[in-house]
Amino acid sequence: MSNLEKQPHEVVIGDDDRPPIDTGRTTILAPREVPLGGPRAMTVHRTLPSRERSMIGAWCFVDHYGPTDVRTGTGMVVPPHPHTGLQTVSWLFDGEIEHRDSVGSHAFVRPGELNLMTAGRGISHSEVSTENTTILRGVQLWLALPDAAREVEPFFESHTAVAATLGNATITVFLGSVAGVSATAKTFTRILAAQIDVPSRTRIELAVDPRDEHGILVDRASVTVNGTPVARTELAFVETGASTLTIESGDDDARLILIGGEPFGEQIVMWWNFVGRTHEEIVAYRTAWQAEAIGSGEVDARAPRFISTHGDPGTRDGHGYTGSPLPAPELPTVRLLPRRR
């Protein structure tokens, strides 16, 4: 998914952004509403990055959307756009999304199936809800790649998630390991992601790695996490030091997304759909995309390539993408300082 904000903030994240060690404290990150697209845009609830917190492990972006009725014209239509230095994680509760990218991948995102795109040095893709969809609901997550892996060749993979039970709850793991089961997708830091379905009036004790940071996003109903109330669309951030997550549901069945991972020990700069290490890198990524996909300026042979031999990701090449490539927003006029917690 693209960040379609017209004036995206530049986020610089470094060591000062990490929490104190071994506290296990729980903090609520409230969402902000972001329109995804044009006049009849689908609204997403964004909890990362936020004013209080920029990352949870390597997770640097969390969008939560739906339920939205596609029949009203508010489905997902995200034209071709670029990414660098990250992995995009698509996970649906309801509906279907068609994915196409510049390395030739063509896949359908469906409930219970992980779609993982590793951007590496540079990729572009489009995402469109299909005609089979009436209700669309899900999450889009980004993982920052560590420096040693951020220049890898881009690739795409799709996997069926692995389910486990914990009492009356069901835990569907799509990245990493938790609840005694492991997913098979390729990752570059110690991370995890899972859907947790908790029946009403149920309490579970989930063992987690105390070295890691964790987040619990509520999709349906409300819960408490380690005694802290968490409402729908909110993200509970649990600092390192917690070896157990205690989750309790109320009068309604709850559905959650659990993310986690080791604290990300590198400084990154994130702007629009790019993750880099310096302001200058972000400028270079934007310049390369504008030249190659939009036709604004000359293509630099040394710059990242977003369009491969599989074709220009736009309607003009007949490759099946929806819409012309998105132009990048204007860059900020100032360099921002690293964010504090």
Main-chain phi, psi angles of 281, to 5 degrees? -65, -45
Query: Which domains occur in the chain, in start order?
Result: 33-261 (2.60.120.10)
Which amino acid is residue 194, in one-letter code? A
Helix (H) or strand (E) holding 98: strand 97-101
Cβ contacts of 96 within 8 Å, gap of 6 or more? 108, 109, 110, 129, 130, 132, 133
Averaged pLDDT score across all residues of the chain: 88
In a 3-state reduction of DSSP, which class is residue 170?
A: strand
Question: How sure is the predictor about 148, in pLDDT bands with cuts at 50, 70 and 90?
Answer: very high
Contact criterion met (CB below 8 Å) for 321 and 310: no
Give the pTM. Answer: 0.90
**Lowest-pLDDT range of 277-281, 298-302, 331-335:** 298-302
Which amino acid is residue 167, in one-letter code? G
Rounded Cα distance, 166 and 207, in Å? 10
- Strand ranges across the sheet with 274-276: 11-13, 268-271, 274-276
Question: Which candidate, 91, 72, 106, 182, places its Cα nearest to that of 137?
Answer: 91
Contact criterion met (CB below 8 Å) for 272 and 83: no
Rounded Cα distance, 42 and 38, in Å? 9
Helix, strand, coil % over all residues of the chain, rounded to 5? 5, 45, 50
What are 155's two structure tokens? 């690739």
pLDDT of amino acid 1? 59
What are 96's two structure tokens? 């279907």
In a 3-state reduction of DSSP, which class is residue 287?
A: helix
- pLDDT tens digits, one per residue of 246-266: 999 999 999 999 999 999 999
- pLDDT tens digits, one per residue of 310-326: 444 454 343 344 568 89
Residue 49, preceding peptide bond in cis (omega within 30° of 0): yes
What are 148's two structure tokens? 């040693």
Q: Is the pLDDT of residue 27 over 70?
A: yes
From residue 165, alpha-carbon distances to 78, 114, 140, 242 in Å are: 35, 19, 24, 21
**Lowest-pLDDT range of 9-13, 15-19, 78-82, 208-212:** 15-19
- Strand ranges across the sheet with 32-36: 32-36, 42-48, 59-69, 135-144, 86-94, 113-118, 155-160
In a 3-state reduction of DSSP, which class is residue 290?
A: helix
What are 26's two structure tokens? 């729980």
